[in-house]
Amino acid sequence: MTSPDRYKLFGVYLSEDVYDSLAEFLYEAAGVVEYDTYFETSESAVPAGDPGAEATDQLVSDLVTAFADRYDEADFDAARRVDDDAFVLAHLAADPQTVTRARERFQAAATIQDTDSRTVHTAIVAAHLDDGTDLESP
């Protein structure tokens, strides 16, 4: 269990292009230079005040708030075409209640779309980052 002054880590699977867009967002928002090693994944929580955690918490909070819109904007067909081996695990830090809400929404979207979590994570996060990322594999 995390305390109110700590963020909970959780993972989403993203296509490499969406992962790169997320890394660019974190660099611009919080100065995170090496996103792939930024969060210590052996820990389940990150202290409040960590700039990368603050940025991902805001990103996830905004995503949860706008989830229905992002679902409508998401290109699930493009995300389904991503090669199964082309997904990357991205760690995010957020308020524990926000993590729970995000997981519930992602799971509901996967059920509605009758697809796996990787596809849903990729499509919805891409829509949220709104960067026009091409989701098709090389």
Contact 11, 91 (CB under 8 A): yes
From first to last of its 138 residues, the chain has per-residue pLDDT tens of: 444 578 999 999 999 999 999 999 999 999 999 999 999 877 788 988 999 999 999 999 999 999 999 999 999 999 999 999 999 999 999 999 999 999 999 999 999 999 999 999 999 999 999 844 444 443
Q: How far is CA 47 from CA 38, 51, 117, in A?
A: 13, 10, 27
pLDDT value of residue 4: 57
Model pTM score: 0.89
Helix (H) or strand (E) holding 6: strand 6-15
Return d(Cα 53, Cα 68) in angstroms, integer. 24
Question: Residue 127 region, left (φ>0) first, then alpha (ψ -120 to 50), else beta?
Answer: alpha
Return d(Cα 104, Cα 91) in angstroms, integer. 17
Tokens at 49, concatenated: 């005040």
Tokens at 81, concatenated: 């075409």
